């Protein structure tokens, strides 16, 4: 099984230097640019490869690039931004890449910049990833010294500058237009779309914001082609995916696997199954903005095309497992407290609705809930769904709630009928910040 993104990452957690990176073929993709691969050709190659955004959206990368105005009349400078604001709970895949192989991101950024003729790139990194920041800073300095950055690439006239921007918290910065405001030094609330960043983005210029893992794929596609890239996958979406798992399983961790691997394989074969004494009840397939999957969904191929919309979506593919010793209502309360805390406050439904949802869930845990509260939860799941809020944060928050109400309805009912949490011995979730 090929693992192009992670095969060289050191198991001991140390990073790879420029020398090591080059020895295993690093930066060789840039020679393709020098030998005449035009930006439009690179866009087409990535489209043909079927690379989809690994941040959770799953949008076709080549198509995203194709929206950027090209040619002499396009506004300049254009920008390429790596979204390294990895703050989706349960998600740690970009950290693994940035810590283990920082040059892969630099190379991916140069290629993506070339594809849209952007001369400046920013890596937008969450402030808490200090080790990633340190290693990326070193990698960027090495790449400048070696002439990959800051100098025209031989035979192309294309020169690329790359900066690292360490942020200062707040989940909303991962939303691409909020991220753009954050980079401009403004309060990080989302912007109205349209116009889309590809035409009017950072400082009003054409901008592509791309997830970190997505960018790591680009050099390999350039080196080995779109057919090879499709063969890595088991489904119609190209490539591998970093799958992860956390919760009460024997061996929590991450694995680079063919796209289309099933949750059952990740859970049983790689994570070693459920931990001693607990049983599986459900999982969130990719961060907390995705809907629950249960036993009946475990054999679905986990990719961007095979999960039926009524079941959910892949998200970041780093799954979180719910076991039978954990209260599903308490689980969802934890998620909704997170969303309530991280709402940027810009639009009313999200700012007011999410704390309300969290308070209602708290009333279930504390034994004060009535059947009317169950209806209130369902009402929120409906009115905070897509189309009612300014950005995707609140709709994301409703995905696990709505699916929990479906799959764990009896557990909600039991909280009402028994006047409290049946799992309660330790489930005294704090009242703070709700």
Which residues contact another protein (rule: CB under 8 A)? Answer: 86-92, 94-95, 122, 126-131, 163, 165-171, 182-188, 203, 244-248, 252-254, 284, 288, 318, 320, 322-323, 326, 331, 334-335, 338, 341-342, 344, 426, 428-430, 432-433
d(CA 183, CA 179): 6
Per-residue tokens: 10: 């050191």
| Cβ pair 7, 179 in contact under 8 A | no
- Minimum distance between the CB of residue 433 and another protein, rounded to whole angstroms? 7
d(CA 409, CA 85): 34
- Minimum distance between the CB of residue 143 and another protein, rounded to whole angstroms? 16
In whole angstroms, what separates CA 219 from the centre of its chain? Answer: 20
Q: Which residues pair with 293 in a beta bridge?
A: 283
- Minimum distance between the CB of residue 103 and another protein, rounded to whole angstroms? 20
d(CA 125, CA 304): 25
- Minimum distance between the CB of residue 36 and another protein, rounded to whole angstroms? 32
- Minimum distance between the CB of residue 85 and another protein, rounded to whole angstroms? 10
Q: Which residues pair with 424 in a beta bridge?
A: none
Select 37 or 182, whichever has its Cβ closest to another protein: 182
d(CA 370, CA 358): 15
Select 234 or 359, whichever has its Cβ closest to another protein: 359
Select 170 or 415, whichever has its Cβ closest to another protein: 170
Select 92 or 144, whichever has its Cβ closest to another protein: 92
d(CA 301, CA 97): 24
Peptide bond just before 300 cis, omega within 30 deg:
no
What number of other Cβ atoms are within 10 A of residue 334's Cβ?
A: 17
- Minimum distance between the CB of residue 293 and another protein, rounded to whole angstroms? 15
Nearest CA-CA partner of 137 in 171, 180, 105, 93: 105
- Minimum distance between the CB of residue 324 and another protein, rounded to whole angstroms? 12
In whole angstroms, what separates CA 406 from the centre of its chain? Answer: 25
Residues with Cβ within 8 Å of 76's Cβ and at least 6 positions away in sequence, in order, are 119, 205
Select 46 or 98, whichever has its Cβ closest to another protein: 98
Nearest CA-CA partner of 289 in 324, 316, 254, 329: 316
- Minimum distance between the CB of residue 283 and another protein, rounded to whole angstroms? 11
Select 88 or 237, whichever has its Cβ closest to another protein: 88
CA distances from 275 to 91, 265, 279, 325, 373 (A): 20, 16, 8, 11, 34
- Minimum distance between the CB of residue 246 and another protein, rounded to whole angstroms? 4
Select 244 or 315, whichever has its Cβ closest to another protein: 244
Select 101 or 237, whichever has its Cβ closest to another protein: 101
| Cβ pair 63, 323 in contact under 8 A | no
Select 192 or 432, whichever has its Cβ closest to another protein: 432
């Amino acid at each position: 099984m090929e693992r192009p993104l992670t095969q060289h990452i050191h198991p001991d957690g140390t990073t790879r230097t420029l020398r090591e990176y080059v020895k295993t073929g690093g930066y060789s993709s840039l020679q393709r640019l020098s030998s005449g691969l035009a930006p439009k050709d690179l866009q087409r190659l990535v489209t043909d490869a079927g690379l989809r955004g690994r941040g959770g959206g799953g949008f076709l990368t080549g198509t995203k690039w194709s929206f950027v105005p090209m040619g002499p009349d396009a506004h300049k400078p254009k920008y390429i931004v790596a979204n390294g604001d990895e703050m989706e709970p349960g998600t740690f895949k970009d950290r693994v890449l940035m810590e283990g192989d920082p040059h892969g991101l630099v190379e991916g950024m140069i290629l993506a910049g070339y594809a849209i003729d952007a001369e400046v790139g920013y890596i937008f990194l969450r402030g808490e990833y200090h080790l990633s920041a340190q290693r990326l800073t070193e990698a960027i300095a090495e790449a400048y010294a070696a002439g990959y950055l800051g100098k025209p690439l031989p035979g192309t006239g294309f020169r690329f500058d790359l900066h690292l921007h360490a942020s200062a918290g707040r989940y909303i910065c991962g939303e691409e237009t909020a991220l753009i405001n954050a980079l401009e030094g403004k309060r990080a609330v989302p912007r109205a779309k349209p116009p889309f960043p590809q035409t009017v983005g950072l400082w009003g210029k054409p901008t592509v914001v791309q997830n970190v893992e997505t960018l790591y794929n680009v050099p390999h596609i350039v080196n080995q082609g779109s057919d090879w890239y499709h063969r890595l996958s088991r489904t119609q979406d190209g490539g591998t995916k970093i799958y992860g798992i956390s919760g009460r399983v024997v061996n929590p961790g991450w694995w680079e696997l063919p796209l289309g691997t099933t949750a059952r394989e990740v859970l049983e074969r790689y994570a070693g199954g459920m931990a001693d004494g607990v049983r599986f009840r459900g999982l969130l397939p990719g961060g907390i903005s995705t809907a629950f999957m249960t036993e009946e969904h475990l054999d679905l191929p986990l990719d961007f095309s095979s999960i039926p919309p009524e079941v959910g979506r892949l998200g970041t593919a780093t799954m979180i497992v719910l076991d039978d010793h954990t209260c599903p209502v308490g689980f969802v309360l934890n998620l909704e407290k997170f969303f309530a805390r991280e709402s940027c406050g810009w639009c009313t439904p999200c700012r007011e609705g999410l704390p309300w949802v969290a308070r209602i869930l708290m009333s279930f845990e504390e034994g004060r809930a009535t059947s009317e509260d169950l209806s209130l939860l369902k009402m929120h799941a409906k009115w905070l769904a897509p189309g009612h809020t300014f950005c995707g944060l609140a709709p994301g928050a409703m995905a696990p709630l709505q699916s929990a109400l479906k799959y764990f309805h009896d557990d909600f009912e039991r909280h009402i009928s028994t006047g409290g949490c049946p799992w309660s011995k330790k489930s005294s979730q704090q009242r703070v910040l709700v």
